[in-house]
Amino acid sequence: MNIDRHQPEWIDAFEQVFTLCKMRVSEKIVVLCEGQSRLINVELAELALTRMGLSFDRIKVPTPAPMTGPIIRSSGASTALSGQPDAVTQLCLADVVVDLTVEGLMHAPETGQILQSGARIMNVSNEHPEALARLVPTLDLKDMAKEATGRMRAAKEMTVKSSAGTDLQVDLEGAATVGVWGWTDRPGTLAHWPAGLIVSFPRRGTVNGRLVYQAGDINLTFKRYFEGVVDLTLTDDFVTNVGGNGLDARLMRDYLAAFDDPAAYATSHVGWGFNPAARYEALMMYDKADTNGTELRALAGNFLYSTGANEFAGRFTRGHFDLPMLGCDIALDGVAVVSNGVPV
Ligand SMILES: [Fe+2]
């Protein structure tokens, strides 16, 4: 692993993303971080802004003490702004928020208010800068995201199948679908970097079937590749059985049960990745503290299934599994969008 010492190409990467965001001198830019933010990324953001001749304010909030109960990782639901009304007010006055919170503001309670005030939020995922630099978004990613979003929004049903036995049906009518290409230049929108994926939050009672995870698939909450089979039964959105005898199944059963909350078992989002620069081996190459796993969410052709909160189905919970599955056939109204793990 690289030592966390500034590399010129890492500053370049931040500058490229901020340029895509069309950050301007006339805008109020806020760099938001917390006590546990990855310091080098905060510094790289500030160095890039300075090099671009853009002034900014830094808002640093304390990282909240962890709650008792299950350990939370990679949920995308930062609690750093809870109990920080002054900071939220400042963020609402901003044109651009460079979000360097540990979990990210994607699903934070305050995010809606900040976006409604017209700010755009550029989340820098809590990754090692080497990964960020490898995954600077390209213009192609935006085209791919737009196309995938259009297809998803027009479809009534998504099906996912695999030779391992996966057979899932998702009724997409009324689902909320978002394509993420890695930057935002529009007021009131949020993007995260890295990116290159589409996520859809299905309505209540629309996800049924079976998901059979096998060795080589990925559990991004635990930041490990599956080494054995985990056979999930899904009934009206809820995981009603976690089959499997190995460590992966045991860890998932135990973690889900630990929330003591039925909503922890429900579907959060479904979708797929299409970033050709994302590397499958990435989880092997970074220490757990050096990766947030966003690269694997965007891995081209993975079916990304997630449990946890889904505000569009009226469910809130702290737990969240992001579970990329490889080698699937994904179809929208019977038309393939991913074939044997490869985007069509
Ligand atoms: Fe997720």
Distances (CA, A) of 258 to 230, 268, 302, 322: 18, 18, 28, 17
User: Which pLDDT does position 324 carry in this prediction?
Assistant: 98
Question: What spacing in Å lies between the alpha carbon of 145 and ligand 1's midpoint?
Answer: 17
Same domain, 90 and 19: yes
Same domain, 168 and 255: yes
Same domain, 99 and 161: no
The full 3-state SS of 236-252, as one line of letters, equals CCEEEEEECCCHHHHHH
Averaged over 335-342, what is the pLDDT? 98
Question: What spacing in Å lies between the alpha carbon of 55 and ligand 1's midpoint?
Answer: 33
Question: What spacing in Å lies between the alpha carbon of 272 and ligand 1's midpoint?
Answer: 11
Same domain, 96 and 154: no
- Spatial distance between the Cα atoms of 193 and 180, rounded to a whole number of angstroms: 9
Q: Which domain holds residue 338?
A: 139-185+195-343
Question: What spacing in Å lies between the alpha carbon of 169 and ligand 1's midpoint?
Answer: 19
End-to-end CA distance of the chain: 34
Same domain, 48 and 28: yes
- Does some domain include residue 12? yes
Question: What spacing in Å lies between the alpha carbon of 270 and ligand 1's midpoint?
Answer: 9
Same domain, 144 and 74: no
Point out the domain boundary residue: 98, 113, 134.
Answer: 134
pLDDT in tens, 93-149: 999 999 999 999 998 889 999 999 999 999 999 999 999 999 999 999 999 999 999
Same domain, 53 and 163: no
- Does some domain include residue 304? yes
Averaged over 6-13, what is the pLDDT? 96
- Does some domain include residue 155? yes
Helix 39-51 and helix 8-20, axial crossing angle in degrees, nearest 10: 70
Averaged over 323-339, what is the pLDDT? 98
Same domain, 150 and 274: yes
- Does some domain include residue 3? no
Question: What spacing in Å lies between the alpha carbon of 344 and ligand 1's midpoint?
Answer: 23
Same domain, 20 and 145: no
Question: What spacing in Å lies between the alpha carbon of 106 and ligand 1's midpoint?
Answer: 10
Point out the domain boundary residue: 111, 134, 157.
Answer: 134
User: Which pLDDT does position 51 carry in this prediction?
Assistant: 98
Question: What spacing in Å lies between the alpha carbon of 68 and ligand 1's midpoint?
Answer: 22
Question: What spacing in Å lies between the alpha carbon of 35 and ligand 1's midpoint?
Answer: 23
Asked whether the predicted pLDDT for residue 73 surpasses 90, the reply is no
Question: What spacing in Å lies between the alpha carbon of 60 and ligand 1's midpoint?
Answer: 25
Question: What spacing in Å lies between the alpha carbon of 310 and ligand 1's midpoint?
Answer: 10
Question: What spacing in Å lies between the alpha carbon of 76 and ligand 1's midpoint?
Answer: 7
Asked whether the predicted pLDDT for residue 2 surpasses 70, the reply is no
- Spatial distance between the Cα atoms of 41 and 47, rounded to a whole number of angstroms: 10
Question: What spacing in Å lies between the alpha carbon of 297 and ligand 1's midpoint?
Answer: 8
Same domain, 102 and 130: yes
Question: What spacing in Å lies between the alpha carbon of 322 and ligand 1's midpoint?
Answer: 5
Beta carbons within 10 angstroms of residue 99's beta carbon: 29
Asked whether the predicted pLDDT for residue 159 surpasses 80, the reply is yes
- Does some domain include residue 1? no
User: Which pLDDT does position 76 carry in this prediction?
Assistant: 83
User: Which pLDDT does position 1 carry in this prediction?
Assistant: 54
Using 50, 70 and 90 to split pLDDT, how confident is the model at 5?
confident
* Bigger pLDDT: 109 vs 206: 206
Question: What spacing in Å lies between the alpha carbon of 1 and ligand 1's midpoint?
Answer: 26
Question: What spacing in Å lies between the alpha carbon of 5 and ligand 1's midpoint?
Answer: 30
Question: What spacing in Å lies between the alpha carbon of 327 and ligand 1's midpoint?
Answer: 20
Same domain, 171 and 83: no
- Does some domain include residue 213? yes
Phi/psi for 321 (5° steps) reads: -105, 130
CATH code for the domain in which residue 123 is found: 3.40.50.2300
Least confident of 17-26, 100-109, 167-176: 100-109
Question: What spacing in Å lies between the alpha carbon of 164 and ligand 1's midpoint?
Answer: 23
Question: What spacing in Å lies between the alpha carbon of 191 and ligand 1's midpoint?
Answer: 14
- Does some domain include residue 2? no
User: Which pLDDT does position 311 carry in this prediction?
Assistant: 85
Q: What's the whole-model pTM score?
A: 0.95
- Does some domain include residue 190? no
Same domain, 130 and 146: no
Question: What spacing in Å lies between the alpha carbon of 50 and ligand 1's midpoint?
Answer: 33
Averaged over 216-236, what is the pLDDT? 98
**Residues 275, 197 contacting (CB under 8 angstroms):** yes
Question: What spacing in Å lies between the alpha carbon of 134 and ligand 1's midpoint?
Answer: 22
- Summary mean pLDDT of the chain: 96
The full 3-state SS of the chain, as one line of letters, equals CCCCCCCHHHHHHHHHHHHHCCCCCCCCEEEEEECCCCHHHHHHHHHHHHHCCCCCEEEEECCCCCCCCCCCCCCCCCCCCCCCHHHHHHHHHCCEEEECCCCCCCCCCCHHHHHHCCCEEEEECCCCHHHHHHCCCCHHHHHHHHHHHHHHHHCCEEEEECCCCCEEEEECCCCEEEEECCCCCCCCCEEEECCCEEEEECCCCCEEEEEEECCCCEECCCCEECCCCEEEEEECCEEEEEECCCHHHHHHHHHHHHCCCHHHHEEEEEEEECECCCCCCHHHHCCHHHCCCHHHHCEECCEEEEEEEEHHHCEEEEEEEEEEECCCEEEECCEEEEECCEEC
User: Which pLDDT does position 74 carry in this prediction?
Assistant: 83
> Which residues sit opposite 44 in a β-bridge?
none
Question: What spacing in Å lies between the alpha carbon of 295 and ligand 1's midpoint?
Answer: 12
Question: What spacing in Å lies between the alpha carbon of 212 and ligand 1's midpoint?
Answer: 19
Using 50, 70 and 90 to split pLDDT, how confident is the model at 333?
very high
Overall number of domains in the chain: 2
Question: What spacing in Å lies between the alpha carbon of 220 and ligand 1's midpoint?
Answer: 9
Using 50, 70 and 90 to split pLDDT, how confident is the model at 234?
very high
Asked whether the predicted pLDDT for residue 343 surpasses 60, the reply is yes
Buried b (16+ CB within 10 A) or exposed e, 154-176: ebeebbbbbebebebebebeebe
